[in-house]
Amino acid sequence: MKQEVSKARYVRRLSIYGLTAILLLALGAALLIALQELILPTIVGAFAAYVCRPLMGLLTRKGLDHHLAILVLFVLFGGLMMVVSDQVQSNMPDEMGKLELRTRIQYKATQRFNQAMGLEEDPKKGNFLYQTLGQDLQQAFDNFANSVMFNPSERILFELHAINAKADSAKMEVYYNYYLENIRNDQQRLGKNFIKEKSQEKADEAAQAAEGGGESRLAAIKHTLSLWLTTPFVFLFLLVDEGQIKKSLVSVVPNQYFEMILTMFDNVDLAIGNYLRGTLMECGLVGLSFGACLYLIGMDFQIALVIGLISGVVNAIPFLGPMIGAVLGAGYALIAEDISPLIPMVTLDSLVFWVIIAVLVVHVLDNVIFQPVVLGSAVSLHPLVVIIGIMGGGVLMGVVGMLFAIPAIVIFKVIFATFFDQMKAYHII
């Protein structure tokens, strides 16, 4: 009789737990879909809090009160976020800035292409390279030029902008000459397909579009800001937590597996913490050294800082990260107008070469010093897993997916490896 009662209770308990788990999972999935825009800011906040935990330990060990340590870290994190967003915003070109940039890119790229192909000396024959691969390379370059060239509305906008700015800017005069040269090249390249529209109607339309664009840009910034407000709060509340989250998670584990799960939790925490903190430090060092190298070879401090920052962030993507950094640096080197190098032999013409040297130096530093010292043998992944992971991340979530692919794989690897180790240690399997 007693056995029947306990069996019935067991079945009841199992069905209630099962039903609750299904409901919670469904609710979690629905929330994830509904609030998917908040996922990235939440992950960034949680990641920052996770990475800062040892720092908080250090501050409290130095005698700082726990709450004061949280406040110090919160202010530091908030300050860092503000500086980064300010730097990004101030270096982000507006609509006109983008047009200026495209003008420069097209003009400089055409100039470099002609130089490389020897078309400046002999516009018809070119050099050996042009004679051998000229047709294919010309086709590729034309496609590139078509992708950056202005459409009629953009031409009107740029001309209006040039008229307004020409009076007080010598730089604008240079860009306007680039623009005229680009137009000539476009006409030459496209022939009859190049239509020059310049009616007042179109100009008004374009100006209206620019105004509307400005408004929508403002709305987008507001929307992004409101989303990213989540980040400092997630950061703060996770730092304030003194283990309650872990305790409540562990409280649902049956007694039989309690010790095992908590040991697993701690091992995973240690391994992932070491990996993430190591990767962050490595990326920071790579970004800093690349930025410093770019500054040394004469790039503007702000530009070097921004390229270094982006290269540091994308360095988290194995193989592809350093390449993105190199493309960014070399891309800017191609369109640079003036440089002030601290190394005497660097010139504007050889800047791309020096950027490649800088990339190689940073790559060697990363492999010889940063990775062995900072990362050690934290978690190693097979290169094939890394490549498939990055491609999968890219397919699923674009650049963000590529950035988070490897940490996600590492987290799963550590969780599964520790889980099976502990199951064996506790004689469960």
Partner 1 sequence: MTNPFWGNIFHQENDPHNLKTEDFLVKIPLFANLTRKEAKKVANIVHERIYQEGEFMFKQGHPGAAMFIIKTGVVDIVLPRDNAPDIQLAQLGAGSFLGELALLDDSPRSASAMIKEEAFAYAFFRTDLNKLIETDPGVGSKILKELALIIGQRLKATNVQLTKAEK
Among candidate residues 357, 271, 409, the one with its CA nearest the CA of residue 263: 271
Taking CB atoms within 8 Å and a gap of at least 24, the contacts of 166-174 are: 171/337, 174/337
Residue 278: count other Cβ atoms within 10 Å of its Cβ: 18
Closest approach of partner 1 to the CB of residue 2, in Å? 12
Nearer to partner 1, 63 or 344 (CB): 63
Nearer to partner 1, 211 or 259 (CB): 259
Q: How far apart are the first and last CA of the chain?
A: 33
Closest approach of partner 1 to the CB of residue 79, in Å? 24
Nearer to partner 1, 6 or 224 (CB): 6
Closest approach of partner 1 to the CB of residue 64, in Å? 11
Nearby residues of 230 by Cβ (< 8 Å), 6 or more positions away: 38, 41, 42, 45
- Applying CB under 8 A, the residues found at the interface with partner 1 are 57, 60-61, 242-244, 247, 250-251, 255-256, 258-260, 262-263, 266, 425-427
Q: How far apart are CA 61 and CA 45, in angstroms?
A: 24
Closest approach of partner 1 to the CB of residue 57, in Å? 5
Nearer to partner 1, 6 or 340 (CB): 6
Nearer to partner 1, 52 or 405 (CB): 52
Q: Are 226 and 108 in contact (CB under 8 A)?
A: no
Closest approach of partner 1 to the CB of residue 245, in Å? 12
Residue 25: count other Cβ atoms within 10 Å of its Cβ: 10
Q: How far apart are CA 219 and CA 45, in angstroms?
A: 23
Helix (H, G, I), strand (E, B) or coil at 95: helix
What's the token pair of residue 374? 């900072």
Nearer to partner 1, 211 or 266 (CB): 266
Closest approach of partner 1 to the CB of residue 22, in Å? 25
